[in-house]
Amino acid sequence: MRIAWRAWQELSGLLLPVACAGCGRPRTELCTACGAALHGAPARLVRPSPRPPGLPAVYAAAPYENAVRAVLLAHKERGALGLAGVLGRALAGCVRAGEGWPGDAGPLLLVPVPSARSSTAARGHDPVRRIAAAAARDLRRAGLPAQVLPLLRQRRAVADQSGLGARQRRANLAGALELTAGGGRLLQHGLLQAGPTQPGPLQRGPLRHGRVILVDDLLTTGSTLAEAARAVGEAVGAGRESSVHGVCRAAVVAASPTAFEINRN
């Protein structure tokens, strides 16, 4: 059933009239102006206020408003799967923005924040993982070794985050994520990518923790990324705050406008 639904979503995009996901302009999936709003400016370092403990450095492509918000929702909730490519391009720009950090000799390991199984089933796809895969392809085309590693999973159910404040979201997500059994072994023993530009099999070797990039579609309070960083940090024996500086970084397609304003200067 799920495969049939995905096939219908992709086929309907070819057969039905197309309109820009950002503004509704006819006969284009994404117009030039809305595309520029998404990835027309350099990625920027963003920070929510208050910043949750353990939040790593986060780069975002655009504020979550207007056309950018509409495009993300079209892909996430309405099955506009053709938008994954342009969203992945925006995410790849955010990953590249942090490329000069220490420990950059190894491959870029994109770790998507996991969705609840019920949400993935209801949507018929995993939007963050799909965008991450598109970003990894974009990075490889640019000559940067990159691979998506779905290392995280939910260990317990969490309440709907809608309507929750920053403190409530932190409490809701505390301890909610963990590494998969295979993911924990990979991070503890280290890994390397087989080739410089192709996904290829992963081999044992020293893991450059600065190259672990947590990826998500949206940053609001930062609670989800902070919880993901905690799970990764614990797996490699790092303390909560040390994960901010050494174990991983983060990249998102969009962030709340206030997260951009805080870092304006």
Q: What is the pLDDT of residues 70-123, one digit of tens each?
A: 999 999 999 899 999 999 999 999 999 976 544 455 788 899 999 877 676 777
How confident is the prediction for the chain on average, in pLDDT? 79
pLDDT in tens, 109-162: 899 999 877 676 777 788 999 999 999 999 999 999 999 999 998 876 666 666
For 35, other C-beta atoms within 10 Å of its C-beta total 19
Residue 182: predicted pLDDT: 74
Residue 123: predicted pLDDT: 75
- Using the predicted structure, report yes or no on whether residue 21 has a pLDDT greater than 60: yes
Q: State the Cα–Cα distance between residues 254 and 96, nearest whole angstrom.
A: 15
Residue 185: predicted pLDDT: 66
pLDDT in tens, 186-212: 665 655 443 444 455 544 444 544 488
The pTM of the full predicted model, rounded to 2 decimals, is 0.81
Q: State the Cα–Cα distance between residues 251 and 90, nearest whole angstrom.
A: 10
Residue 194: predicted pLDDT: 38
Please indicate whether residue 52 or residue 265 has the higher confidence score (pLDDT): 52
Out of 53-67, 109-123, 233-247, 251-265, pick the least confident: 233-247
For 150, other C-beta atoms within 10 Å of its C-beta total 18
What average pLDDT does the segment 65-71 reach? 97
Q: State the Cα–Cα distance between residues 223 and 52, nearest whole angstrom.
A: 6
Please indicate whether residue 263 or residue 261 has the higher confidence score (pLDDT): 261
Please indicate whether residue 14 or residue 170 has the higher confidence score (pLDDT): 170
